[in-house]
């Protein structure tokens, strides 16, 4: 099973600032990496797939990069609606599909 | 637009059974794999099970293997999760999600989830 590790657990950022979230896989997942956003009481929403492709309707301030075992989600200028928990997920070696433990982006 | 609506959750005693449903609309249900994912209170996401587009393949997390069964009824555009021998650690919000490909992929769309509480 591939273990996904996200850092940091919590990220405190001021609105308008840049946020950088990291995700590491225990072995290579190529570019088969997705990012999801989850707000309290809501279902997760797909942000990024293929490590760097934005899903439909996702704003350009969200970008993904990386391949192999190291990945990054960058939010270029945080808006109030971006404060949420973000999960990475690998879909290269399955089953199982595995998620990171999440990074909470909170208002500084 | 795509809609996934789960139902069937509730409070159940340890050892008992429950069946969850997920009604899908807004996409070609028969072309994609479908997943169940759960989230224990205050915890992260855990993949539970997947069924391929044609129902020919099913896979389960080790934590539920032998106790849970995933199935689909393409005539009703509905996904199911039969949960037997429930344990306290199965307490979670259970969500269905559509796969991006016929056999798996990433998770395109998610339902809001239904809460399952296993307690005596």
pLDDT at A26: 98
Nearest to B111 among A43, A91, A99 (CB): A43
Asked if B44's CB is within 8 angstroms of A99's CB, the reply is: yes
pLDDT band at A85; cut points 50, 70, 90: very high
Task: Provide, rounded to the nearest whole percent, the portion of chain A with pLDDT above 90.
Answer: 97
pLDDT under 70: residue ranges of chain B:
none
Distance CA B54, CA B74 (A): 9
Q: Tell me if A25 sits within 8 A of A4, measured CB to CB.
A: yes
Chain A residues near residue B112 by CB distance under 8 angstroms: 42-43
Q: Which residues partner with B114 through β-bridges?
A: B94
Q: Answer yes or no: do A44 and B110 touch at CB < 8 A.
A: yes
CB pair distance less than 8 Å for B107 and A95: no
Give helix then strand counts, H and E, for chain A: 0, 11
B95 touches chain A (CB under 8 A): yes
CA distance A36 to chain B (A): 9
Average the pLDDT over A3-12 and give the result. 97
Q: How far does A83 lie from chain B, in Å, by closest CA?
A: 16
Q: How confident is the model at residue A78 (pLDDT cuts 50, 70, 90)?
A: very high
pLDDT of residue A47: 98
Q: What is the pLDDT of residue B68?
A: 98
Of the partner residues B61, B111, B112, the one whose CB lies closest to the CB of residue A96: B61
CA separation for the pair A21, A39 (Å, rounded) = 16
Residues 50-89 of B with CB under 8 A from A: 50, 59-62
- Mean model confidence pLDDT for chain A: 97
Q: What is the mean pLDDT of residues A43-68?
A: 97
Q: Distance, in angstroms, between A39 CA and closest chain B CA?
A: 11
Question: Residue B10: exposed, middle, or buried by beta-carbon count in 10 A (0-12, 13-18, 19+)?
Answer: exposed
Residues of B within 8 A of A38 (CB-CB) are: 45
| Alpha carbons B111 and B97: distance in angstroms, whole number | 6
- How far is the C-alpha of B108 from the C-alpha of B106, rounded, in Å? 6
């Amino acid at each position: 099973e591939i273990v996904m590790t996200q850092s940091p657990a919590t990220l405190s950022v001021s609105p308008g600032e840049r946020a950088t979230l990291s995700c590491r896989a225990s072995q290579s997942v190529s570019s088969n990496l997705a990012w999801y956003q989850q707000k309290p009481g809501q279902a997760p929403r797909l942000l990024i797939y293929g490590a760097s492709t934005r899903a439909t309707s996702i704003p350009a301030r969200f970008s993904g990069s990386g391949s192999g075992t190291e990945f990054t989600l960058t939010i270029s200028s945080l808006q109030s609606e971006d404060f949420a928990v973000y999960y990475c997920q690998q879909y290269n070696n399955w089953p199982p599909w595995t998620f990171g433990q999440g990074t909470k982006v909170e208002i500084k | 637009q795509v809609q996934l609506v789960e139902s069937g959750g509730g409070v159940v005693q340890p050892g008992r059974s429950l069946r969850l449903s997920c009604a899908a609309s807004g996409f070609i249900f028969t072309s994609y794999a479908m997943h169940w994912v759960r989230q224990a209170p205050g915890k992260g996401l855990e993949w539970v099970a997947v069924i391929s587009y044609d129902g020919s393949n099913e896979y389960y997390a080790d934590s539920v293997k032998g106790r849970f069964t995933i199935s689909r009824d393409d005539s009703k555009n509905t996904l199911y999760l039969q949960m037997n021998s429930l344990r306290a650690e199965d307490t979670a919000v259970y969500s269905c999600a559509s796969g991006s490909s016929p056999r798996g992929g990433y998770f395109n769309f998610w339902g809001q989830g239904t809460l399952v509480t296993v307690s005596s």
